[in-house]
């Protein structure tokens, strides 16, 4: 770019950022005022950076408060399973012990001494064991020898999960239906699939979709319906502290997108 016949460039990068708002002739920048100009530019950019960081923090808070899911897949790092369970338990116990120390709890007390290890084992072996694909329940399909071609509905399946935004419990009931495409599955396996996807930090919308998509794949049919009705402790014990509300989410595919089939299913689970 040319200004008054003199070659010009934007100001040098300051912390990786160009000042695109104002370009100055290279001839007008002396070693003395160049240093001053860079300093002034830094001062101008600093509030913008702070605002950006503040906005990012506010956006993250909004995601948590509004229980927003970012994808159907559970967010996991590529190296999520490089550590074995024993190592994970050991590391979590160390960090949880530090949390308790920061809170001011006396870890020499008999009641608290074993808490870090108990919490770590609970996380890895129980309430978050659904994170590990190795714990996915095996499924076996059976031929539909009865020729049954109507809705199969399994309702009031109890489940417990944890809100991924606050790490407090979600608990409720799942209602599942499918129409056989030539194969059937043991009823207990429907319960185990719900439990597997629930035992991880979750958002209810994602949990609903994960169960629905897995059932479609497992059963070899598009005709699947899932409804979850759950209470969220992040709503009842903090924030708005609403003790009575529940959240309902649904997944419908295939024939369940038809009004008659969907209405039949909803009548059964009322």
Dihedral sign, Cα of residue 139, residue 218, residue 75, residue 166: negative
Question: How far, in Å, CA of 191 to CA of 61, rounded?
Answer: 33
Of 72, 101, 127, the one marking the end of a domain is 127
Highest mean pLDDT: which of 6-15, 21-30, 41-50, 192-201? Answer: 192-201
Among 74, 102, 127, the domain boundary falls at 127
* Cα end-to-end distance, the chain, whole Å: 71
Q: Which of 165, 169, 173 is nearest to 237 (CA)?
A: 169
The answer to whether 178 touches 215, Cβ cutoff 8 Å, is yes
202 counts as catalytic: no
Which one is catalytic: 37, 67, 162, 164?
164
pLDDT at position 79, please? Answer: 96
| pLDDT averaged over every residue in the chain | 84
Mean pLDDT of the 230-246 span: 96
Residue 175 lies in a domain: yes
Dist. CA 180–CA 223, nearest whole Å: 8
Is 166 assigned a catalytic role?
A: yes
Greater model confidence, 55 or 45: 55
Is 189 domain-assigned? yes
Reply yes or no on whether the pLDDT at 36 is more than 80. no
pLDDT at 3 (0 to 100): 41
Q: What is the mean pLDDT of residues 128-142?
A: 95
Lowest mean pLDDT among 22-31, 38-47, 169-178: 22-31
pLDDT (mean) for 60-75? 69
Which structural domain, as residue segments, surrounds residue 123?
85-127
CA dist 55 to 66, 80, 165, Å? Answer: 16, 29, 18
pLDDT at 158 over 70: yes
On the question of pLDDT at 185 being above 70, the answer is: yes
pLDDT exceeds cutoff 80 at 27: no
Span 247-266, average pLDDT: 98
If you average pLDDT over residues 60-72, what whole number do you get?
63
- Establish whether 58 is a catalytic residue: no
pLDDT value for 139: 87
Residue 70 lies in a domain: no
pTM: 0.75
Residue 77 within a domain: no
Catalytic position from the list 37, 67, 163, 202: 163
* 164 counts as catalytic: yes
Task: Tell me if 69 is assigned to some domain.
Answer: no
Counting the structural domains of the chain, the total is: 3
- Check 67, 162, 165, 175 and give the catalytic one: 165
Looking at residue 71, its pLDDT comes to 76
- Residues 37, 202, 204, 210: which is the catalytic one? 204
For residues 43 and 148, state if they share a domain: no
- The reply to whether 183 and 259 lie within a common domain is yes
Q: Residues 224, 174: one domain? A: yes
Supply angle C-alpha 89, 158, 116, rounded to 5.
Answer: 20
Domain match, 155 and 195 both? yes
Residue 134 belongs to a domain: no
- Tokens for 32, please give them: 């003395």
């Amino acid at each position: 770019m040319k200004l008054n016949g003199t070659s010009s460039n934007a100001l040098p990068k300051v912390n990786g950022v160009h000042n695109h708002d104002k370009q100055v002739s290279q001839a007008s920048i002396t070693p003395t005022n160049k240093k001053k100009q860079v300093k002034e530019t830094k001062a101008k950019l600093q509030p913008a950076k702070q605002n950006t960081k503040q906005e990012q923090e506010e956006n993250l808070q909004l995601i948590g408060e509004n229980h927003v899911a970012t994808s159907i897949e559970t967010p996991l790092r590529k190296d999520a399973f490089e550590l074995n369970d024993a190592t994970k338990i050991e590391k979590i116990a160390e960090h949880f012990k530090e949390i308790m120390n920061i809170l001011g709890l006396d870890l020499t007390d008999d009641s608290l001494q074993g808490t870090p290890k108990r919490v770590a084992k609970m996380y890895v072996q129980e309430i978050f064991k659904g994170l590990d694909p190795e714990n996915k329940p095996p499924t076996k399909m059976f031929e539909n020898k009865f020729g049954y071609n109507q809705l199969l509905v399994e309702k009031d399946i109890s489940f417990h999960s944890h809100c991924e935004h606050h790490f407090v419990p979600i608990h409720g009931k799942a209602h599942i239906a499918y129409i056989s495409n030539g194969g059937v599955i043991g009823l207990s396996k429907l319960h185990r699939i719900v439990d597997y996807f629930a035992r991880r930090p979750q958002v209810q919308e994602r949990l609903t979709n994960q169960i629905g998509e897995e059932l479609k794949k497992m059963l070899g049919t598009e005709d699947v319906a899932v409804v979850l009705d759950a209470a969220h402790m992040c709503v009842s014990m903090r924030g708005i502290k609403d003790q009575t509300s529940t959240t309902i989410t649904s997944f419908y595919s295939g024939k369940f997108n038809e009004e008659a089939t969907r209405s039949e299913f909803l009548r059964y689970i009322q």
